[in-house]
Amino acid sequence: PDGMVKREDFDYVEEAVPEPGDGELLVQIQYISLDPAMRGWMNEGRSYVPPVGLGEVMRAGGVGRVVKSNHPEFAEGDHVTGIFGVQEYALSDGGGVFKVDTDLAPLPTFLGTLGMTGLTAYFGLLDVGEMKEGDTVVVSGAAGAVGMVAGQVAKIKGAGRVVGIAGGPEKCAFVVDELGFDACIDYKNDDIRGKLKEYCPDRVDVYFDNVGGDILDMVLLRLAHGARVVLCGAISQYNAAGGMKGPANYMMLLVNRARMQGFLVFDYASRYGQAAREMGGWLKEGKLKTREEVEHGLDAFPDALLKLFRGENTGKLVLAVNGD
């Protein structure tokens, strides 16, 4: 696609459900994850994963039920998560597939707060952002799947002040009243620079950026000495046909001896278990809140993706398939 994705960029194709071979399992997918990163996977060129080719099944995370298994580690009836694609059934050799404990949370949560987006927030904030107790933390996309977890983990880990940035009064109310952020800036209606000054009197130690664009530029003007800008995403720029806009104020990194750092959650795979257990515990204790928004049916995929890019969802957006 060039610029914003369109419905016509996708084809819906029917095929017979395949039979698992030796060492394979067949998963009936129940929920498909919708992620801003999907837009990047549709672009040609070098990135951290190969682009999705023309005619291939669109890449996506999912969660579902094992319906047939010739794999020693998975049994019929197990619930599993993995990169299953935008489809109703997936064959897998078990690589990158994990069982999920449905007693801990409903299935969609394993695509969000207890899945890749939650882990992204956790490692981005604590490892890349090196958040310390007392820090002022700003999170953009604060009502989104990653942002809502990043801000809550910051509070749990002792941040001095956690300020969200989100679009519209309803999202801001969700961020403050339900998630417990100290404040939220409505980028559609507020004077962002003025509010950053008001809500961050000691400037910003960690900025967890999910959006890029003008908001990134404004937060750069408010960095504290030694600040860490965590580059998690740039959803405002992914569909820009004229190309990405770079942060014009990047030299504030020099003035403030600050850094801007990118990361990919996959690099922390060896610590997923520990982090998921810690976050699962917070979820059980009620310290960590989660929200998922569910769209229905495989043919709703293109519209759901557009909804994500228009910022119309609150929390993690997933697609229920197979009538679940």
Q: Which is closer to a copy of itself, CB of 28 or CB of 249?
A: 249
Site residues for a copy of itself, window 32-91 (CB under 8 A)? 46-48
Site residues for a copy of itself, window 245-264 (CB under 8 A)? 245-264
Q: Which is closer to a copy of itself, CB of 251 or CB of 269?
A: 251
Min dist CB 208 to a copy of itself, Å, is 13
Question: Quick one: which of 146, 200, 218, 232 contacts a copy of itself (CB under 8 A)?
Answer: 232
Question: Quick one: which of 42, 83, 231, 300 contacts a copy of itself (CB under 8 A)?
Answer: 231
Stretch that binds a copy of itself, among 11-19, 64-72, 183-191, 231-239 (CB under 8 A): 231-239
Give yes or no for residue 115 binding a copy of itself (CB under 8 A). no
CA distance 309 to 35: 9
Question: Quick one: which of 56, 244, 277, 299 contacts a copy of itself (CB under 8 A)?
Answer: 244
Q: Which is closer to a copy of itself, CB of 261 or CB of 274?
A: 261
Q: Which is closer to a copy of itself, CB of 257 or CB of 277?
A: 257
Site residues for a copy of itself, window 189-218 (CB under 8 A)? 212, 217
CA distance 31 to 86: 10
Q: Which is closer to a copy of itself, CB of 62 or CB of 141?
A: 141
Min dist CB 227 to a copy of itself, Å, is 10
List, in sequence order, every residue forming a beta bridge with 163; answer none if it has no partner: 138, 183
Min dist CB 204 to a copy of itself, Å, is 14
Q: Which amino acid is at 293?
A: E
Q: Count residues contacting a copy of itself (CB under 8 A)?
A: 33
Min dist CB 24 to a copy of itself, Å, is 31
Task: List residues near a copy of itself by CB under 8 A.
Answer: 46-48, 212, 217, 231-234, 237, 243-264, 267
